[in-house]
Structure 1
């Protein structure tokens, strides 16, 4: 009996940072000592069912001390071995776990541009219910792999972030160029989405560490350029004035760097021509009505006179001209046939 008591079962030092550690031997000697640290729980599992749970402390593996272990005795060995799987589950938060990857292609509601979002950062993982964790993941996840559970949780976190961020951006709640200012509400939405999925596995993510959501470099440059253009157009008044200014500025920079060729000259000419189109057209002055000559005495009467000032003879009606464009108006016309302006009485 003393020889059996010398075997100790505990989590190795190099595995203490794991969320779940499975003892490699499924046959456990009677009277062995199980050492459960203060931040751990130990679970005996057989046929997918948790039969016993050990809290922190030193426990002798014996049906006298733990009556439930009587069902695990191996009769072939004369009752000297218990046949069961033994899992050590961390009762603390495991921090510094990394996640990251591509989120989705979303349409920015402000610029209406389709961009690609990426996320990367850290999170903490904790066990909500050790028994649920072991029974739910046994057979679906390799619990002997140190990173199997944490990597699976990281993938689920990234998937939940895709859903939450795409919903927030497409709904107009979070602008693409201002996502860094929305990290708090993003974290709350992602944790809510993720923990709903993790609940049935006995896990939870209590918090996220440093994380960020970024644009693909080419998308970030495109949105910044578009934002600058929109601002300048608003200041210039319309697109044509802004385009003329951009062309003139580009041509001026080319000339300042020693360029004097046809390309720069063409750009400058195009800019000046476009700017000239923006200038309001001058209205031609009204044509002066000519003086009226008398057919009898030859005296000249003032414009619009009906009788000769020299002999009193009736003068012929002088042709009328439009005061706006100077075109000659037909007799009796009330509006100019050339520009549509109203003619004087």
Structure 2
């Protein structure tokens, strides 16, 4: 995406030539609102092909008076391999492990399907005039929905491996609905990983090794037994030490 000029507006004279490259659309923009859109090709600017000029700027029909506006060039191609991820860990309430901080990352692909709607709702309303700014907005929107999807579909991260595909599909569906409101198609969204802190991952590995015990009481019994076993391996350690045999 490119905005001409990068800030403010410039005088555009009727009769000027507007050249729009393939896979682009040009949107005339002023005061936070899109005025008109042009597809690929060479266009001569006139009140005949931009009727809004007469009503918004009061320009005479067929006249050559300049008007103040900016032009936003929007690429209509598919943008592949864009990355998303949590900037900070997301706090998740786990029914087994209490509060857990999770990180997540992945890739996504998007394309603009309605340039004028996109400019009105994203570029103008949010003041995002650079490709980098728009991509950051995409990422923030995905992470916001990730929090919702985790809360609605996951009760404990111990179940994460078997629910991974379901969570990814739920996130993609929710984000696609959100993006469509802004003239954007979510072509694809992949969830690379959802990762807890290292100490929590160790707990999950131990639970998995036990055959997925059903509650923390069982897990604590396992840890107690594990501790006794480790003590018995130490020099002078015995299975009966401290148990009060005899």
**TM-score exceeds 0.5:** yes
- Which residue in the other structure is 2:42 paired with? 58
Instruction: Give the C-alpha shift of residue 38 in structure 1.
Output: 2.1
Contact 1:115 1:215 in 2 (8 A): yes
Is 1:40–1:56's contact at 8 Å kept on the other side of the alignment?
yes
Question: SS of 1:22's equivalent?
Answer: strand
Structure 1 runs not aligned, ≥5 long: 1-19, 256-264, 282-345
Aligned-pair distance for 1:134?
1.6
Contact 2:76–2:111 (8 Å) recurs in 1:
yes
Corresponding residue of 2:92: 105
CA change 1:99–1:47 in 2 (3 A) is: same
CA positional deviation for 1:182:
3.5
For 1:238 and 1:84, the matched residues in 2 are separated by: 67
CA distance, structure 2, for counterparts of residue 22 and residue 238 of structure 1: 59
The corresponding residue for 1:191 is 172
Distance in 1 of aligned mates of 2:222 and 2:64: 94
The CA deviation at 1:58 is 1.7
Q: Is the CA contact (8 Å cut-off) linking 1:122 and 1:211 kept in structure 2?
A: yes
Deviations along 1:125-165, one digit per CA (max 9) or x if unpaired, are 22242222222235532232332222112101101011101
1:124 CA drift (Å):
1.7
Q: TM-score, normalised by structure 2?
A: 0.76
CA distance 1:215–1:74, shift in 2 (3 Å): same
Q: Deviations over 1:285-306 (max 9, x none)?
A: xxxxxxxxxxxxxxxxxxxxxx
Cα distance, 1:215–1:67 mapped onto 2, change above 3 Å: closer
Greater C-alpha radius of gyration: 1
Please say if residues 124 and 207 of structure 1, whose CA atoms lie closer than 8 Å, have aligned partners that are also in contact. Answer: yes
Compute the displacement of 1:97 (Å).
2.2
CA change 1:180–1:82 in 2 (3 A) is: farther
2:108 maps to which residue? Answer: 123
Number of the residue aligned with 1:295: none
Aligned to 2:11: 27
Equivalent residue number for residue 240 of structure 2: 272
- Kept in 1, the 8 Å contact 2:107–2:190? The answer is yes
**Root mean square deviation, CA, Å:** 3.5
Structure 1: how far apart are the matches of 2:210 and 2:242?
18
Q: Indicate the residue corresponding to 1:308 in structure 2.
A: none
Q: Which protein is richer in strand relative to its size?
A: 2
Q: 2:144 aligns with which of 156, 159, 168?
A: 159
Is this contact kept in 1: 2:15–2:46, CA < 8 A?
yes
Task: Establish whether residue 200 from structure 1 lines up as the match of residue 207 from structure 2.
Answer: no
**TM-score, normalised via structure 1 length:** 0.56
